[in-house]
Amino acid sequence: MNVIEGKALQVSDAIIACQLDGQGGLIPIEDKDVIHCERPCWLHLNYTHRESAEWLASTPLIPDAVRDALAGDSLRPRVNRLGDGFMITLRSVNRNSDARPEQLVAVRVFINDKLIVSTRRRKVNAIDEVLVELQNGNGPVDGGSWLVELCDVLTDHTSEFIEDLQDKIIELEEALMDQRVPARGELALLRKQLIVMRRYMTPQRDVYARLASEKLGWMDDDERRRMQEIADRLGRGLDDLAASVARTAVLADEIASIMQEAMNRRTYTMSLLAMIFLPTTFLTGLFGVNLGGIPGAENHYGFAIFCLMLVLLVAGVALWLHKRKWL
């Protein structure tokens, strides 16, 4: 397949439909064009749209083995080689508005030397950045550089998010040094984000390493070297994630210790108060019985004198506890 008719790439609800011009820019695809495949064509589709789903199910331009994967059945990052091309599933930090970053979005790519088909359901900002570079004339020039550029942007977004998580951990550590406990659920959410990122980025690093090791005519040695550098950079990010998980475990222990210490202080305070008022409770109980012979019952000032004695007794017990350094 050295020639593709433009109408074979016409999808009415396609997000992107263009051909790389080999100089860092793009060429729109018209219905009447006859496209020579010296440079790859790029289709970016939302597989939940009707026209896109029908094109994915029926076009002869992609192998049958990748139709289901491009239609959203593949979830975890993975790569499969298909002749001179790849079927790749990657994950990206969710940078859409009103969404949590750890709710990762997926982008699925079938790529060979003549055609790039990428699909998604939720918006992937990395795709938009690659498109902007092409529109500005500074983008990839072929399929290999397109793939490297996409993986590089995805890793940049991941690294930025990991740095944000580390900044949050530092803030929590400083707060705990001042005996300030984070809001309920804050540490749990942070740990969840770290664990989710590590779960998906570990196989994604392996995908990059696999792409760097494959020998294909449309990826030169420089592009494979850059892909290996991206894999190494993501690997360093994974090391940071592992260290951050360990730091959050220490934070959880420290929070539990602070909470236990606060509870112990409250219990100690209540015990001292009980000790202070224990003699007065005994005396009030004793003098409160309704039996004859209670001292001072006939004295007009008996109640006032009794109250004064109780105050003096409380003060005496408190002074004794203070001298013993219990209070």
3-state secondary structure 187-224: HHHHHHHHHHHHHHHHHHHHHHHHHHHCCCCCCCHHHH
Span 111-130, pLDDT tens digits: 988 899 999 999 999 999 99
Q: Is 20 helix (H, G, I), strand (E, B) or coil?
A: strand
Q: What percent of the chain has a predicted confidence (pLDDT) above 90?
A: 45
Least confident range from 133-137, 145-149, 242-246, 260-264: namely: 260-264
What is the mean pLDDT of the segment spanning 244-260? 89
Kindly indicate the confidence band of residue 36, based on its pLDDT and cuts at 50, 70 and 90: low
Beta-carbon contacts of residue 19 (< 8 Å; ≥ 6 apart): 26, 27, 29, 35, 39, 40, 41, 42
Closest CA to 142 of 43, 44, 41: 41
Is the pLDDT reported for residue 1 higher than 60? Answer: no
Kindly indicate the confidence band of residue 306, based on its pLDDT and cuts at 50, 70 and 90: confident
Least confident range from 96-105, 177-186, 212-221: namely: 96-105
Is the pLDDT reported for residue 160 higher than 60? Answer: yes
Is the pLDDT reported for residue 218 higher than 90? Answer: no
Residue type, 141: V
Span 69-99, pLDDT tens digits: 998 777 789 999 988 889 999 999 988 877 6
Is the pLDDT reported for residue 291 higher than 70? Answer: no
Check: CB of residue 39 under 8 Å from CB of residue 145: no
Residue 115 phi/psi, 5° resolution?
A: -145, 140
Average pLDDT, the chain: 87
Check: CB of residue 84 under 8 Å from CB of residue 112: yes
C-alpha dihedral, 110 to 113 to 115 to 120, nearest 10°? 30
